[in-house]
Homo-oligomer: A and B are copies of this chain.
């Protein structure tokens, strides 16, 4: 069952594990290529590849003549897309409620394994929730969660706390990917959201990463008549900062 992983991948995993566990904090120097050569018994080119890829992936930074260092990682706050729908509805002075339609451990499949970028993932957590504003369905949440990132995920009562809040407390989020599309609802979606088949919906597909692992994949479906997505950004000299 040992996956016969390539050597450079083992070195990468070793370094990532140290970062994930907190043993190596940001700014700390990681072993040089020559030190990895000695400790792993590999060639310098193999050590170089491991460090170079981790640098391209944003986990390390390298300075010629000096060394390789753990990069400053997450400022976990204020990701505009990670707003909590319960808070959002409360902010409008309305009542938020949710119905958990499904909450269980499922087996993986090739499509999911690819989305999670992990073929060895055998089981996943799945969640299907209808969120209501003053009793009217406004969002359908179809979520898969990586057990490696949040082992105790299913133990929570999701009518009292939202999955997003649980995940944020379990692991820092360092990367987000969003895809937004317009869709017509499936029959099941029509039933769960109590809408007709001709009402267009917004589909928001989101993947979030935590220290190099895909933590969760979620599809949010909003009936167009009841919800729009909104964002406001201010540009700075450095880049785009969400508000």
Residues of B within 8 A of A173 (CB): 235
**Residue pair A181, B79 in contact (C-beta under 8 Å):** no
Task: List 10 A–B pairs whose Cβ atoms lie within 8 Å, in order of A's numbering.
Answer: A75-B236, A78-B239, A80-B233, A175-B235, A180-B202, A182-B182, A182-B222, A182-B224, A236-B239, A238-B238
Digitize A221-241: 1 where CB-to-B-CB distance is under 8 Å, 0 elsewhere. 010100011111111111111
- 8 Å CB contact of A180 from B58, B228, B232: B228
Are B75 and A232 in contact, CB atoms less than 8 angstroms apart? no
Q: How many copies does the complex hold?
A: 2
Q: From residue A81, how far is it (CB to closest CB) to chain B in Å? A: 7
Task: Mark each residue of chain A from 34 to 68: 1 if its CB lies under 8 Å from any CB of chain B, else 0.
Answer: 00000000000000000001001010000000000
Interface string of A168-192 (1 = CB under 8 A from B): 0000011111111111100000000
Q: Which residue of chain B has its CB nearest to the CB of A243?
A: B175
Say whether A233 contacts B79, CB under 8 Å. Answer: yes
Q: By the criterion of a CB under 8 Å from any partner CB, how many residues of chain A are at the interface?
A: 45
Give the CA-CA distance A79 to B230 in the complex, in Å: 11
A230 touches B178 (CB 8 A): yes
Q: A76-B235, A238-B239 are in contact. List 9 more A-B contacts (CB 8 A).
A: A58-B234, A75-B238, A79-B180, A79-B231, A80-B240, A174-B235, A177-B230, A178-B233, A239-B239
If A79-B231, A80-B233 touch, whether A182 touches B202 (CB-CB below 8 Å) is yes
- Chain B CB within 8 A of A201 CB: yes
Q: For residues 189 through 238 of chain A, which have their beta carbon under 8 Å from a beta carbon of chain B?
A: 198, 200-202, 222, 224, 228-238
Cβ contacts under 8 Å, A176 to chain B: 231-235
Binding site for B on A (CB under 8 A): 53, 56, 58, 72-76, 78-81, 173-184, 198, 200-202, 222, 224, 228-242
With CB as the reference atom, state the residue of chain B lying closest to A80: B240
Also in contact, A202 and B230, with CB within 8 A (given A56-B56, A240-B81): no
Q: Name the B residues within 8 Å of A182 (CB-CB).
A: 182-183, 200-202, 222, 224
Counting from the closest, the 7 A-B pairs by CB-CB distance are A200-B200, A182-B200, A182-B182, A72-B237, A239-B241, A182-B224, A180-B229
- Chain B residues with CB under 8 A of A234: 58, 174-176
Chain B residue at smallest Cβ distance from A242: B240
